[in-house]
Amino acid sequence: MKTWRFFVSMVLILACAGAGCVQPTQEQAEAQLCQNLEELGVALQNMQNLNASSSVGDIRDARDRVQSVMENVRNSADPLI
């Protein structure tokens, strides 16, 4: 019985670590936020490059990309708050 509990405990610990339960270090979190901010800058620049001849699909794709990257920025900023 003790062996079974130990096994289950180890599986849960490893699963939690593998699923990202381990918090990144301050430096890792800052690096991820900087990377995401750079990606946001690129996405915004791409949106700014749209013009009157851009297709609706291009506009929607650019909008969706900005929304996605902005969500990444929010998520990467959470550990720093």
Please report which confidence band the pLDDT of residue 28 belongs to, taking 50, 70 and 90 as the band edges. Answer: very high
In angstroms, the CA 30 to CA 24 distance is 9
8 Å CB contact between 23 and 56: no
Give percent of the chain above pLDDT 90: 67
Instruction: Answer whether residue 16 is part of any domain.
Output: no
Q: To 10 degrees, the CA torsion angle through 59, 34, 72, 57? A: 10
Answering whether pTM is above 0.85, one says no
Q: How many domains does the chain have?
A: 1
Instruction: Answer whether residue 7 is part of any domain.
Output: no
In angstroms, the CA 77 to CA 22 distance is 16
In angstroms, the CA 62 to CA 77 distance is 22
Three-state SS at 50: coil
Domain hosting 71: range is 25-80
Instruction: Answer whether residue 10 is part of any domain.
Output: no
Average pLDDT over residues 36-58: 97
